[in-house]
Amino acid sequence: MARDSISNSVIRRLPRYHRFLGELEANGYIRISSRELSEKMGLTASQIRQDFNCFGEFGQQGYGYNVSDLRREIGNILGLDKHTPMILIGAGNIGKAIASHLDFRSKGFVLTGAFDVNPEIIGKPVGEINVSDISELESFCAENKPVSAILCVPTSVAPAMTEKLISCGIKAFWNFTHYDIRIEHKNILVENVHLGDSLTTLSYGLNRIDEEGER
Amino acid sequence: MARDSISNSVIRRLPRYHRFLGELEANGYIRISSRELSEKMGLTASQIRQDFNCFGEFGQQGYGYNVSDLRREIGNILGLDKHTPMILIGAGNIGKAIASHLDFRSKGFVLTGAFDVNPEIIGKPVGEINVSDISELESFCAENKPVSAILCVPTSVAPAMTEKLISCGIKAFWNFTHYDIRIEHKNILVENVHLGDSLTTLSYGLNRIDEEGER
DNA sequence: TAGATTGTTAATCGATTAACAATC
DNA sequence: TAGATTGTTAATCGATTAACAATC
């Protein structure tokens, strides 16, 4: 039975389910049981069934799940059938790489604008679009109503830029700066990536392996 | 009292503590209480004290924590005093951006090599080093013994490349491909970044906001 | 000393796993 | 029908929060 509030742990597993089901589909799988999927993904079958049942009854007793049906259902839950307009703020190294590395459309978004302060970058292409001067941000937003933004500016200007973007109507932030966007505003969504923290975690793990070796 | 096995939830919070304490230090803070830190970070004071006490007693009753002492302690736990050699595999858009965007040394690593198959990239600089031909990987590893690798190759070649790197002595992977490195090998560490999953999560959140609006 | 705040134990909460009746 | 596997409830496990004695 579909629940009202889904736990964050479940939500974070959904994209991974979607990804794995895509691979299975590509490999010609028609059906899969929770047990088989659990082995492929390193989860328990129980957890998988619990997760899916947060949203509805997608399986069939005695049979399992239809791979492409299940994948489509999860895709819809994730909003991947939409194309939410997204803009890139800061088109330097990391911004450019992210914009051109990912397929936004298959993830529920479409990149409609990119902005920077650097005259050497302005006018140059990033993915399918050209970089605009940041001074054009407000008029662009008024006209095109983007609802989400990738934040790839220097950390120092991140807080002010966040405020400005909110005033321009941005509702969701994909944040690559080293600044933690804190959600004092209601109904503003933030996904803090923090690649530095991710790398630091790896350092922690390596040190534990080393310690074991020393014993 | 220092515990033997630390939960993943705690470990994932450590880099964030370290980051916040660095900001506090930069802003002239000498001491901080768990309550004050909890307000700044959006956690509970209880959790903060529990987390720190996994590793030792870093505070003082009636006083709180010394900011720079605490930061140094956490840095040591994370292994940030080390410079573990790391190589970049795949120096395209995303690889180059990551290598030049982050300060590896302050995160316990040092970038000692970069490799690619593309002749147009080979020989060009990435951060402080030059990109080498991937054919030189084995001899480089034999000589320089890097223990960690950033994986920025196309997803299709990720599994084979992972195996090759393990055979070259790589113990830790920072994986940016869309392939899930699964740890069948013992004592091999993996940090799967999956930017696509992160973006997909944002799409999910946006759809929940929209649904609320419709009600 | 009195006040503040830690370190730590106990209580609560939530998430994962196990079990099994329902059913295809 | 018999076998398989779901959907779902109950049991377990782990993580977070609350409480408070210890102590600076």
**Cβ–Cβ below 8 Å for A14 and B201:** yes
B122-143, pLDDT tens digit by residue? Answer: 999 998 999 999 999 999 999 9
For the ranges B23-37, B111-125, B199-213, which has the lowest average pLDDT?
Answer: B199-213
Q: Determine if strand C comes within 7 Å of the CB of B171.
A: no
Which amino acid is present at A26? Answer: A
Q: In this structure, what are the phi and psi dihedrals at residue B148, rounded to the nearest 5 degrees?
A: -140, 155
Which residues are CB-neighbours of A40 under 8 A, at least 6 positions away?
A20, A24
As given in the structure block, the two tokens for residue B194 are: 């999956």
Quote the CA–CA distance of B35 and B43 in Å, as a whole number: 9
Q: Which CATH architecture has domain B3-76?
A: Orthogonal Bundle (1.10)
Chain CA centroid to CA A99, Å: 13
- How many residues in total does chain B contain? 215
**Percent of chain B with pLDDT strictly greater than 90:** 90
Quote the CA–CA distance of B123 and B115 in Å, as a whole number: 10
A74, A31 in Cβ contact below 8 A?
no
Quote the CA–CA distance of A182 and B133 in Å, as a whole number: 43
Which of 28-47 (A) contact B at CB < 8 A? 42
A173, A190 in Cβ contact below 8 A?
yes
Give mean pLDDT, residues B146-153: 98
Q: To probe the interface with B, which of A19, A96, A199 has the most B CB atoms within 10 Å?
A: A199
B14, A200 in Cβ contact below 8 A?
yes
Quote the CA–CA distance of A22 and A67 in Å, as a whole number: 8
Reduced to 3 states (helix: H, G, I; strand: E, B; else coil), residue A35 is helix
Q: To probe the interface with A, which of B41, B84, B202 has the most A CB atoms within 10 Å?
A: B202
B80-122, pLDDT tens digit by residue? Answer: 999 999 999 999 999 999 999 999 999 999 999 999 999 999 9
Quote the CA–CA distance of A207 and B81 in Å, as a whole number: 11
Taking CA atoms, what residue in B is nearest to A106? B200
**Cβ–Cβ below 8 Å for B80 and A109:** no
Listed residue (B199, A152, A104, B20) closest to A165, CA to CA: A152
Listed residue (A189, A105, A104, A115) closest to A152, CA to CA: A115
pLDDT at B1: 38
Superfamily of domain A84-197: NAD(P)-binding Rossmann-like Domain (3.40.50.720)
CA distance B51 to chain A (A): 15
Determine the distance between A20 (CA) and D6 (C1') in angstroms: 20
Which residues are CB-neighbours of B126 under 8 A, at least 6 positions away?
B88, B91, B95, B96, B99, B100, B111, B114
pLDDT at B78: 98
pLDDT at residue B215 is higher than 60: no
As given in the structure block, the two tokens for residue B180 are: 């899930």
- Listed by start position, the domains of chain A span 3-76, 84-197
Listed residue (B134, B130, B180) closest to B159, CA to CA: B180
Which amino acid is present at B108? Answer: G
Quote the CA–CA distance of B112 and A199 in Å, as a whole number: 16
Which of 47-66 (A) contact B at CB < 8 A? none
B59-77, pLDDT tens digit by residue? Answer: 999 999 999 999 999 999 9
Comparing A3-76 with A84-197, is the CATH topology the same?
A: no
Listed residue (A80, A91, A82, A81) closest to A113, CA to CA: A91
Place of tokens 């054919």: B135
Listed residue (A213, A199, A195, A208) closest to B148, CA to CA: A199
Phi-psi region of A204 (alpha: psi -120 to 50; beta: other; left: phi over 0): alpha
B158-200, pLDDT tens digit by residue? Answer: 999 999 999 999 999 999 999 999 877 778 999 999 999 999 9
pLDDT profile of chain A (215 residues), mean per 10: 75 98 98 98 98 96 98 98 98 95 97 98 95 98 98 97 97 96 84 98 94 70
For chain B, the distance separating the N- and C-terminal CA atoms, rounded to the nearest angstrom, is: 50
DSSP strand pairing (A64-66 vs B189-192): unpaired
Determine the distance between B56 (CA) and D13 (C1') in angstroms: 25
CA distance A97 to chain B (A): 5
Using a CB-CB cut-off of 8 Å, the residues of chain B touching A148 are 202, 206
